[in-house]
C-alpha cells in the first residue's frame, strides 16, 4: 500500500493548524489516516512544530513519501538528515559514531539558529514596544500642553470678566453715590425753602398785628 506523509487541516478558517499524519495516498486529504506523527501550527512566530522523531524516521525509512510541506517540516526537524546519515552508515561511508557526531553538531547549530531568531524577534518586539511607549508619552505630553494652554486661556478670560464686573460694580456704586448726594442736596434745598417760607409767614403775621 503506497503511503504518504501529509498534513491534515484542523482549526478555524483563518486560524488553522495541522496534524502530520501517515495516510494511504488514495485517501482524501482530511479523511482517514494510519497514524498521527506530529503537529504543525503556523500561527505562532516562529511556527510551532512538534514531531515524533522516531516514528517519522521509521516511516521515511520504509518508503513513505512526504508532500512538499511535510518534507520541509521533516527537514527542519532533522528527520531527513538523520535518514541520510543512517544510509551512509549502511553503505560504509562513515561509522555510526561519526554519523551520531554529525547529527549532534547539526542539532546544536540548528538550536543556535532557532535561539538567535527568537532573540531577534524578542529584541524587535521590545523595540516596537519602546517605540509605542515613546509615541504614547509624546502624545500625552502634547495633550497635557494643550490642556494647560486651554486652562491658561480660560483663566485669562475669567480674570478679564472679573475685572469688567469690578469696573461695572465700581461705576454703579459711583453713580448711586452721586444720585444719593444729589437727592440729599435737593432735600436740603427743600428744607431751606420750607424754613424760609415759614419765616416769611411769621413776618407777615407780625406786620398784620402791628397794622391793627
Backbone angles phi, psi at 52, to 5 degrees: -75, 100
* Residue 53 vs residue 111, higher pLDDT: 53
Please state the pTM of the whole predicted model. 0.57
Mean pLDDT of 7-28: 89
The pLDDT of residue 28 is above 80: no
Q: What is the pLDDT of residues 107-138, one digit of tens each?
A: 999 889 888 887 888 788 788 888 888 888 88
% pLDDT > 90, the chain: 39
pLDDT (mean) for 127-156: 85
User: Phi-psi bin for 77: left (phi > 0), alpha (psi -120 to 50), beta?
Assistant: alpha
Three cell numbers written together for 133: 511607549
Return the pLDDT at 103: 93
pLDDT band with cut points at 50, 70 and 90 for residue 64: very high
Cα-to-chain-centroid distance, residue 132: 8
Amino acid at each position: 500500500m503506497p503511503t504518504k506523509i501529509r498534513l491534515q487541516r484542523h482549526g478555524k478558517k483563518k486560524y488553522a493548524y495541522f496534524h502530520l499524519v501517515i495516510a494511504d495516498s488514495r485517501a482524501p486529504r482530511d479523511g482517514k489516516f494510519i497514524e498521527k506523527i506530529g503537529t504543525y501550527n503556523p500561527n505562532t512566530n516562529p511556527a510551532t512544530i512538534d514531531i515524533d522523531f522516531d516514528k517519522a524516521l521509521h516511516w521515511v525509512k520504509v518508503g513513505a513519501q512526504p508532500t512538499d510541506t511535510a518534507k520541509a517540516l521533516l527537514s527542519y526537524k532533522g528527520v531527513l538528515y538523520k535518514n541520510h546519515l543512517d544510509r551512509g552508515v549502511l553503505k560504509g561511508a562513515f561509522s555510526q559514531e561519526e554519523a551520531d557526531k554529525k547529527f549532534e553538531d547539526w542539532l546544536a547549530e540548528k538550536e543556535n539558529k532557532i535561539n538567535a531568531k527568537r532573540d531577534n524577534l524578542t529584541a524587535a518586539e521590545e523595540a516596537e514596544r519602546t517605540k509605542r511607549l515613546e509615541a504614547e508619552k509624546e502624545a500625552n505630553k502634547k495633550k497635557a500642553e494643550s490642556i494647560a494652554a486651554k486652562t491658561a486661556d480660560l483663566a485669562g478670560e475669567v480674570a478679564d470678566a472679573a475685572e469688567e464686573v469690578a469696573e461695572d460694580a465700581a461705576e454703579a456704586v459711583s453713580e448711586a453715590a452721586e444720585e444719593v448726594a444729589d437727592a440729599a442736596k435737593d432735600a436740603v434745598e427743600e428744607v431751606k425753602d420750607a424754613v424760609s417760607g415759614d419765616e416769611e409767614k411769621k413776618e407777615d403775621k407780625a406786620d398784620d398785628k402791628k397794622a391793627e
